[in-house]
Amino acid sequence: MITTAEKQTLDALIATRQAEHSLPGRFYRDELVFRADLEAIWQREWLFAGHSCEVARSGDYFTWQVGDDPLIITRDEQGELHALFNVCRHRGTLLCESPAGQQRRFVCPYHQWTYAPDGSLVSCRGMHDVDRASLGLLRAQLRELSGLIFVSLAERPPPFTEAAERLLPMLAAQGLERARVAQQIDYEVQANWKLVWENNRECYHCNVNHPQYIRANFDHYNEDDTTAAIRQQIEQAVQQHQTRAVESGVAITHRESGMTLFPDPDAGLWYSANRTPLVDGFVSESMDGRQVAPLMGDYTNPEVGTLRMRTVPNFWNHSSCDHSVSTRLLAAGPRRTLIRVTWLVDREAVVGRDYQLERLLPFWQLTSEQDWKLCERAQRGIESSRYRPGPYSRYKEYNVDRFVRWYLHRLSAGCTETRVPRS
Ligand code: FES
Ligand SMILES: [Fe+2]
């Protein structure tokens, strides 16, 4: 727990941030800041854990870790999802080590206390006098939203209902709850989690670093380099989309150049979703712009642009008519972020018959890996004694500034709340 003296150190550090400049180096490498990030943000906010299709059947589970807290997502015999602390209630041993699988029971390897997928303790070998009902696995809050599983470790997590109401109409047509995982790639990126977000919140770097991405999208054109011709292309793409898109819930919501504004540090908004047009000739974020898998969800027509969503502190997703790509971040150290990229397709789609991984993966695999390299290079430079915070572009890095302000606000508020003694 962050002490009063440490909170003072953090407040002093926060005060050194120069407006519209990158953060002082300690934010990206300091052990104290990392502990404060975990306490104020990762243990409080809604975190994206994974997809409900990863635990489609009763008994399916996967494990993951938030800071020092190992967790299991399970589906019980009634089909209910649970977020359980992966910690035996006998003497605390890590209960399940596998990344994912199918289990009717979780048996602790130490003394064989045995738990059902809903977390209840079903047997504790030879200990007849314990109150089993009070020794179930401890649980975190879980909400499922259109096939996306969000978990909060907080006792009183931020409100979820409003997020669900706002996101659901945007997500519904994509049918993520009727998807399957086509591929999952795990990365260990040697960079602070905030650098990964800062990279994600601007497309200033896209022209040079993401040749495949800029062919499909308009968001690297910012206010200062959007020519009349580009404006016309965007308008045309929107018009074509509105004429061809026959389904409901697929209207383009972002029709300007540049990225949609997110996050909102003043309103504290932690989620957003929007639909953007693709460049003419592209119906999917694929290397050649063509469809790479069968249509997903309610779509009857590939002209749906891209649905994009993101939730701080750990999730973003780009969905085309035929596939969806989720990115989950887990802060694993001051200089280390674990990233999982998951490709989803319709659950009826069969690999080799309906889609080929060689066509499905490259667009986002390349884009992701190009980004991770940049983040690692940024980290290496920031480690230098001669790193100095540099200025953000108002035209191209407005969202980086928004992210940093959201972060500092949460950091400051989160650590303060922690020091209020709990009744
Ligand atoms: S620690 Fe798990 S059964 Fe003893
Ligand atoms: Fe990028």
User: What tens digit of pLDDT does each residue of 136-187 get?
Assistant: 999 999 999 999 999 999 999 999 999 999 999 999 999 999 999 999 999 9
Atom of ligand 1 nearest to the CA of 95: 2
For the stretch 34-63, pLDDT in tens is: 999 999 999 999 999 999 999 999 999 999
- Tens digits of per-residue pLDDT, 265-286? 888 789 999 999 899 999 999 9
Confidence of residue 420 (pLDDT cuts 50, 70, 90): very low
| pLDDT score for 83 | 98
Ligand 1 atom 4 nearest Cα: 111
Instruction: Answer whether 108 contacts ligand 1 (Cβ < 6 A).
Output: yes
Specify the range with the lowest mean pLDDT, choosing from 11-20, 151-160, 234-243, 347-356. 234-243
Task: Reply yes or no on whether the pLDDT at 423 is more than 60.
Answer: no
Closest Cα to atom 1 of ligand 1: 91
Question: Among 105, 106, 110, which is best to mutate for testing ligand 1, by the most ligand atoms less than 8 A from CB?
Answer: 110
Q: Which residue has the higher pLDDT, 157 or 245?
A: 157
Pocket test for ligand 1, best of 108, 123, 137 (most atoms within 8 A of CB): 108
Across the range 366-370, mean pLDDT stands at 98
The tokens describing 81, both together, are 């999802």
Ligand 2 geometric centre to CA of 349 (Å)? 29
Does pLDDT of 228 surpass 90?
no
> Which pLDDT band, with edges at 50, 70 and 90, does 254 fall under?
confident
Segment 84-101 mean pLDDT: 98
In tens, the pLDDT along 275-323 reads 998 999 999 999 999 999 999 999 999 999 999 999 999 999 999 999 9
Cβ(88) to ligand 1 under 6 A? yes
pLDDT at 252: 80
Q: How confident is the model at residue 422 (pLDDT cuts 50, 70, 90)?
A: very low
Ligand 1 atom nearest residue 92's Cα: 1
What is the structure's pLDDT at 184?
98
